[in-house]
Structure 1
Amino acid sequence: MILQGKPTVGVAGVGNMGAPMARTIAKAGFPVVLFDLNAKALEAFGGEGGFALAETLEELGQRCDIVVTMLPNSSVVRAAVMGRAPEGGIADGLAARKAKSPNCPAIILDMSSSFALDTRRLGAELKERGIRLIDAPVSGGVPKARAGTLAIMAGGEASAIVEAEPVLKSMGNVIRTGDLGSGHAMKAINNYVSAAGLIATAEALLIGERLGLAPQTIARVLNAATGKNNTTENKLTQYMIPRTFNAGFALDLMAKDVAMARALARELGIRAPALDFVSADLDEASATLGPGADHTAVLHYRERKAATKES
């Protein structure tokens, strides 16, 4: 049910993550306007109340007070926000709306996995147009997106975050990380730590199995001891030991996210050899297993690599 007086929220990108996030926003009583280049993604909302559709990104901005972007990367976000001639972008629409209604918040929530330094540059350009950018990437995957329990890392102007917080809280738990770009930086760092745990867990499983340890015993001990991590808790017995490899997050996306952390470290002049290894290893695994492979299939990649060395 749409509640009176609530800001209209736009969502650009209603794929695997954007769609459930849009639904939790609507469930909280916000009127929601959707945009996606993929018509099938929009068709999935057919018959559901609380949603309207925009035909262009500029129209999305014109009809909304706050716009969420959930897109593949920084360059796609920039194109969506700033537009590509002759097409206008979200910022053009928001600026026009704010000119007519000065009380319009004119906030963009970039919830994509964008590059922190690109986010800062985009934010500076938007500020000149009276539009505030918040970087608010998420962690938790599709299940938590559906439940509205995502971890949301919000960076940006404090007053803008306060205004946008009701929308953010409809999707999960908000952790303020600091200035603009800090949320995307934190997401990149978190993704690296999570990926390192995935690789370490895959290697540990193979070593333990080779020694004759039962896979379930390995999982129980790791989760009862100091080796416990997100992979041991939520992926090892569920997708890796049974070799189903269907956790729902693509390996190539994980590789992209970790590459972002690697690029950030390099740009800051920080030597990070473990990060370099994890990033290169994921790139190789992704190239070996091909597009669409699940990230838990890193175990399969490790098994293939071990078999090659033995032969």
Structure 2
Amino acid sequence: MRIGFVGLGMMGLPMLENLARAPGFEIRALDREEAPFRRLAGHPAWGRGLSRAADPAALADCDLVITMLPNSPITNAVIRGAPGQPGLAQVLRPGAVVIDMGSSNPADTIALAAELAERGIALVDAPVSGAVAKAETGDLSIMVGTDAAGLAPLRPLLSAMGKVLIPAGQTGAAHAMKALNNYVYAAGLLAASEALGIAQAMGLDLAVFADVLNAASGRNVATETKVKQFILPGSYAGGFALRLQAKDLATADALQALTGFAAPQLSLCAALWQEAAAALPPAADNTEIHRYIARRPQAGTTGN
């Protein structure tokens, strides 16, 4: 199977490296940056089934193309192309499949799927969960916008990158579920950060408080995997960018308008993360929401 892989960022690069270790695939990787290819030059498959593509046109004869890009506008541009710059929609032949593994906007996914279907190209949304650590070990959870029958032919490919594959139903469902999942995670991390701030102001032992959270009903993935590991030591290196968390929350927030279902807590959470993303450096980790919360004006105070 000839595969194109577009997007070699923090998640895409280790995902590609795991995929290239699996047998039966000829892979062409596409990214504008040089750094990923310097790393790939040391991969056992480099030059023997794994090579670099210069542009989308070099993927024209691929059976399947994976995109792992930061957001919907970039994904849309790569797929739709621009004047003088053909995208995947123009270069792939009928019968090809595009798998969008980024965290895209579900409404955009549905629209793109319809556009590609007119050209005989299938689009499947398959966002991932697990951050960089699980991308490196191939232990990601992958939600797939298809049913069990549609997932079957994709399973060997996706299993090289993830251990848990969940058929989510119709096109766009996986992207919607990923955004909503990230909202629930972000709400838990935000609640833990605020609780830590209050506990610290009371002079409580934060390590003991973390133990209480994880032994009691406050337990969530943020308290289990972020508080003692990255927040209390002050390293703030959880492995997922705060700006991407804010982007995912904006995607989830937009589902209110799409569905007509009001979720005021989601709106509050999304607004606060956008505020933090605007105030913190672009490379800030998502765990730095704790640092940002601590620096905001507190109750009964003014100023910064």
Q: TM-score, normalised by structure 1?
A: 0.91
1:46 corresponds in structure 2 to 41
Q: What secondary structure sits across from 1:33 in the alignment?
A: strand
Question: In the aligned structure 1, how far is the partner of 2:286 from the partner of 2:297?
Answer: 18
Question: In the aligned structure 1, how far is the partner of 2:205 from the partner of 2:281?
Answer: 30
Question: In the aligned structure 1, how far is the partner of 2:148 from the partner of 2:222?
Answer: 34
C-alpha RMSD over aligned residues: 1.6
Tell me, yes or no, if structure 1 residue 284 matches structure 2 residue 282: no
Q: Which amino acid aligns with 2:76?
A: R
Q: What secondary structure sits across from 2:85 in the alignment?
A: coil
Tell me the alpha carbon deviations over residues 162-209 of structure 1, each in whole angstroms, 9 at most, x when there is no partner: 221211111112101100000000001001000000100001111122
Tell me, yes or no, if structure 1 residue 275 matches structure 2 residue 273: no
- Of 53, 65, 68, the match for 2:63: 65
Tell me, yes or no, if structure 1 residue 55 matches structure 2 residue 50: no
- Residue 43 of structure 1: how far off its partner (Å): 2.4
1:116 corresponds in structure 2 to 106
Contact 2:129 2:142 in 1 (8 A): yes
Tell me the alpha carbon deviations over residues 5-55 of structure 1, each in whole angstroms, 9 at most, x when there is no partner: xx1221100110000000111111222210001122222211323211111
- Of 191, 200, 203, the match for 2:194: 203
Question: In the aligned structure 2, how far is the partner of 1:163 from the partner of 1:84?
Answer: 31
1:32 corresponds in structure 2 to 27
Alignment of 1:222-241 (within 5 A): 222-241=213-232
Tell me the alpha carbon deviations over residues 257-305 of structure 1, each in whole angstroms, 9 at most, x when there is no partner: 1011001112221111000100011111112223221111111111111
Tell me, yes or no, if structure 1 residue 18 matches structure 2 residue 12: yes
2:83 corresponds in structure 1 to 85
Stretch deviating more after TM superposition (24-33 or 114-123): 24-33
Alignment of 1:52-201 (within 5 A): 52-60=51-59, 62-95=60-93, 98=94, 106-156=96-146, 159-172=149-162, 173-201=164-192
Contact 1:35 1:42 in 2 (8 A): no
Q: Which amino acid aligns with 2:191?
A: A
- Residue 309 of structure 1: how far off its partner (Å): 5.2
Q: What count of residue pairs does the alignment treat as equivalent?
A: 296
Q: Which amino acid aligns with 1:216?
A: A
Stretch deviating more after TM superposition (171-180 or 71-80): 71-80
Question: In the aligned structure 2, how far is the partner of 1:91 from the partner of 1:116?
Answer: 18
Percent identity over paired residues: 43
Question: In the aligned structure 1, how far is the partner of 2:148 from the partner of 2:155?
Answer: 10
- Residue 253 of structure 1: how far off its partner (Å): 1.0
Gaps of 5+ in 1: 1-6, 99-104
Q: Which amino acid aligns with 1:136?
A: A
- Residue 158 of structure 1: how far off its partner (Å): 5.4
Question: In the aligned structure 2, how far is the partner of 1:157 from the partner of 1:55?
Answer: 34
- Residue 308 of structure 1: how far off its partner (Å): 8.5
- Of 248, 252, 256, the match for 2:247: 256
Contact 1:149 1:171 in 2 (8 A): yes
2:295 corresponds in structure 1 to 304
Stretch deviating more after TM superposition (201-210 or 186-195): 201-210
- Residue 241 of structure 1: how far off its partner (Å): 0.8
Gaps of 5+ in 2: none
- Residue 161 of structure 1: how far off its partner (Å): 2.5
